[in-house]
Amino acid sequence: MSADLSKGPATNQDEARTALIAGMGCYLLWGFLPLYFHLLSGLGVGSWEMIAHRTLWSAPWALLFVLLAKQGGQVLAVLRQPKTLAVLACSTAAIFVNWSIYVFAVNANHVIEASLGYYINPLMNMAAGALLFRERISREGAIAIGLAVVGVAIQTAALGHLPVISLGVALSFCLYAILRKQVKADAQTGLFIECAYLAVPGLLYVLHLHATGVGHFGTAAEVTTLLALAGPATVVPLALFAWSARRMPLSAMGFLQFIAPTIQFLIGVALGEAFTPLRALSFGFIWAGVAVFAYGAWKRTRVVAAT
């Protein structure tokens, strides 16, 4: 009896530790993604070619994770549901816009501005939940949103125009989350359908590049390998996220999700992007909002645990 009791907690602790590692892994991979695109850019690969290979190579990797999760039957079921396929087509468009804005931002040396979008996104999701799904915003949430609005206003003053990249990244990913909330299918299944939608135009564009003699795939081992890695670079962190999110408390995920934009921000600074005192002030408000948001998530988890 005592052996069984000791085995249970140990197993739970092992799974919790594994979930934490998986969660950190996905956000670390997302955080260092700008370096991958920066490396491809240095080899002469343009943004549209990067995006095309990302859409093309993601499909087989998404299929692999569907098979590993034994969700082939669920994929077939979704294929027989026109309304679900229509929603997934819309979510595909949203994630394509998000990927495109991000890749072009990185290649145009706007990594810092792109990172701001991913800081704003959780706060925007919270506001959207209140407006569209009547979810209650806590006092901490309202403060966090207010601080983020001030941060965006200061960022606008610093740039001399609206932070279009930041807002585009945040809005497109927020729209993606809203649409995926309507899909009654596991994350792997939905991701595979989205990747399948994108793979066709991606393949056609890659074939067009090679027909016109400007494609980079197959021209050298280094660039060919890097382009093929666009698939796992996209799908693996998403799979790690889906796995860890089901096994971790909200408070932990609330803290972890800010690892990626923090790394991206530091990469932007390291690459020499302009970071004026006014931009620093704007990020100060955003970071304050993030801290309040994370505290609110932690407090809600403590309340649930106590009941």
Q: What was the pLDDT predicted at 305?
A: 56
pLDDT per residue over 155-196, tens digit each? 889 888 889 999 999 999 889 888 988 888 888 899 999 999
CA–CA gap between residue 113 and residue 161 (Å, rounded): 12
Q: Assess if residue 239 is contained within a domain.
A: yes
The token pair that represents 155 in the structure block: 């960022």
Burial (Cβ within 10 Å: 0-12, 13-18, ≥19) of residue 160: exposed
**Residues 112-127, mean pLDDT to the nearest whole number:** 87
Q: Is residue 110 part of a domain?
A: yes
How far is residue 195's CA from residue 91's CA, in Å, rounded to a whole number? 11
What average pLDDT does the segment 261-280 reach?
92
Note whether residue 101 is domain-resident: yes
Q: Binning pLDDT at 50, 70 and 90, where does residue 240 land?
A: confident
Is the residue at 273 inside a domain?
Answer: yes
Does a structural domain hold residue 287?
no
Section 224-232 average pLDDT: 96
Mean pLDDT across the stretch 197-208? Answer: 96
Residue 51 has pLDDT above 60, yes or no: yes
Q: What is the pTM of this model?
A: 0.85
Q: Which domain holds residue 200?
A: 22-121+164-246+256-278
**Buried residues in 237-275 as b, exposed as e (16+ CB within 10 A):** bbbbbbbbbeebbebbbbbbbbbbbbbbbebbeeeeeee
**Domains in the chain, number:** 1
Within 10 Å of residue 278's Cβ, how many Cβ atoms? 13
> How much is the pLDDT for 307?
59
Residue 4 lies in a domain: no
State the first-to-last Cα distance of the chain, in angstroms, to the nearest integer: 29
